[in-house]
Amino acid sequence: MTTITITLSLVATIFILIKLCIIDLKIRLLPNVYVAAFFVCGLIFHTATNSTFTTPMNASFGIIGGGGMLLAIRQIANYFYQRDTLGLGDVKLLGAAGLWLGASDIFLAISLGAFAGLIHGAVYKLYMQRKTGEPLPLSTLSIPAGPGFIIGIVIEGIIKFQSLSIFLTS
């Protein structure tokens, strides 16, 4: 039963993250219902694995670190640019990811996600310049942050949970 629970929580998480990515690319929104489902899948996963991969304390600090760091970045950037620069959905997403990954690994996921977002932005800029024939200033470039962060979360999750198959077979 535990193996099934763990597997189902991981499969559901993958589908949720794909759905979040698609929605954010289409309408630039990360709906609370899917972010909450991602969070609940993390609770189920860690309960089913008896917190083997992340202790409850580390997961709690991950929530605070992931969500808190992004909230601080959002507040500073909003103040500096005098507009919304990062949505609260991204803050909640990284809080939920902090539950999954724990305090130390959430920061690597954020870094990887920011790098993925940078690559996404550069590709989008080049695409739009080719399409329109006009230069696109970086100051006007606007892309959703969620897909980049989701890529970072998935990469870090693969690294963190690589021993899961050993856990499931023992």
Higher-scoring residue by pLDDT: 85, 7: 7
Across all residues in the chain, what is the average pLDDT?
94
75-80 contacts, C-beta under 8 A, 24 or more apart: none
- pLDDT digit string (tens) for 126-155? 999 999 998 888 778 889 999 999 999 999
Q: How far is CA 84 from CA 49, 75, 76, 77, in A?
A: 39, 9, 10, 8
d(CA 18, CA 42): 16
Q: What is the mean pLDDT of residues 155-167?
A: 92
- pLDDT digit string (tens) for 36-89? 999 999 999 999 999 999 999 999 999 999 999 999 999 999 999 898 888 999
d(CA 87, CA 68): 13
DSSP state at residue 55: -
pLDDT at site 1: 63
Q: Which helix (H) or strand (E) holds 104?
A: helix 103-132
Assess whether pLDDT exceeds 70 at residue 120: yes
Who's near 80: CB < 8 A, 6+ residues apart? none
